[in-house]
Amino acid sequence: MPVGLLMKEHRLIEKTIDVWKKELENIAASGKTNVCLLELAIDFMKTYADRCHHGKEEDILFRELKKKNLSSQLKKILAELIREHKIARETVKSLIEAKSKYSCGEKGSLDEIASSIKFIIEVYPSHIEKEDKHFFLPCMEYFDGREQEKMLEEFAQFDRTLIHEKYKLMLEGMKIMQG
Ligand SMILES: [Fe+2]
Ligand SMILES: [Fe+2]
């Protein structure tokens, strides 16, 4: 079942939420943040949680669901999920900006980092719970076996292209840094 793969990805995202929680505690205790760890955790949120995971949800699952005559309850949840993806994306963007300010020694940037982390810790677990417990399984009832197979194949194709996309973007970034 295609949503089985998405649920498996949720388990990995949850483990990263634990990393964010611990970093928030470290910030409170030490008054500073670990920039190297922050960079890794941001990359995880950008590449894995947002591009790879939300990408498959939005570009494949949600796209196919929009073609179906969903119940009003599922339609309502779908709209909420899309909105939460947008919020998660914006939060990571704010976090990246705050991290750059912190690296330049800008005052107040640590508070901005902490509030973005708090927001991530709040938004992701409830979003995941909503999908796992109230959305994915009832949604699958709208697809027959063949449609689910096709979706799984599209998920695999989506994942195959990601690493190439990531490193092409990284190259672009390196060129921009060199001017
Ligand atoms: Fe989602
Ligand atoms: Fe998800």
Query: 160-169 pLDDT, tens per residue?
Result: 999 999 999 9
Closest ligand to the CA of 59: 1
Query: Looking at residue 35, what is its pLDDT?
Result: 96
Residue 74: domain span:
2-178
CATH number, domain of 44, equals: 1.20.120.520
For residue 101, report the distance from its CA to the centre of ligand 2, in Å: 30
Query: Looking at residue 129, what is its pLDDT?
Result: 98
Residues 78 and 153 sit within 8 Å (Cβ to Cβ): no
For residue 75, report the distance from its CA to the centre of ligand 2, in Å: 16
Number of structural domains the chain divides into: 1
Three-class SS of residue 17?
helix
Query: 122-148 pLDDT, tens per residue?
Result: 999 999 999 999 999 999 999 999 999
Distance CA 155, CA 158 (A): 5
Query: 52-87 pLDDT, tens per residue?
Result: 999 999 999 999 999 999 999 999 999 999 999 999
Query: Looking at residue 122, what is its pLDDT?
Result: 96
